[in-house]
Amino acid sequence: MLRVEGLRKGFPTPQGRLEVLRGLSCRVAGGEFVAVVGESGSGKSTLLQVLGTLEPPDAGEAFLEGTALFALSPSEQARFRNRMLGFVYQAHHLIPELTALENVMLPLQIRGAM
């Protein structure tokens, strides 16, 4: 289960601070599917970056399977991402020296699953 409580994230702009996530709270049960939709610039990518522990929130906490994600150290977050999360980006982030198959297999090799 994913539980999010009071998630806040903003960015400085020349016009002042832009609050993208404003106290978001939600729950997603195991096996449940959720779509994050909205206009360009509405905070979808920011939300996923924060929930994926790639970007720290300004406030709030997220719990995945009972683990408080933002209480983890950066190295613990990296291990958690490696074991529990997967990302599919709009633009591909492949290693050009590897074949497509090698790119797909790389996370499994890093985890020691292959």
CA dist 41 and 53 (Å) reads 20
Question: Phi then psi for 81, rounded to 5 degrees?
Answer: -60, -40
Q: Average pLDDT in the 39-59 region?
A: 94
Q: Where are the domains of the chain?
A: 2-85
Please answer whether residues 17 and 7 qualify as being in contact, where contact means their C-beta atoms are separated by less than 8 angstroms. no
Supply the pLDDT for residue 10: 97
Angle made by CA atoms 34, 38, 43, in degrees to the nearest 5 = 90
Q: Give the model's pLDDT for residue 59.
A: 98
pLDDT at position 101 is 93
Whether the pLDDT of residue 16 is over 80: the answer is: yes
Q: Burial, 8: exposed, middle or buried (Cβ in 10 Å; 0-12, 13-18, 19+)?
A: middle
User: Which CATH superfamily hosts domain 2-85?
Assistant: P-loop containing nucleotide triphosphate hydrolases (3.40.50.300)
What is residue 96's predicted lDDT score, i.e. its pLDDT? 92
* Mean pLDDT estimate for the chain: 92
* Separation of alpha carbons 9 and 18, rounded Å: 9
Residues of the chain with pLDDT > 70, as a percent, come to 100
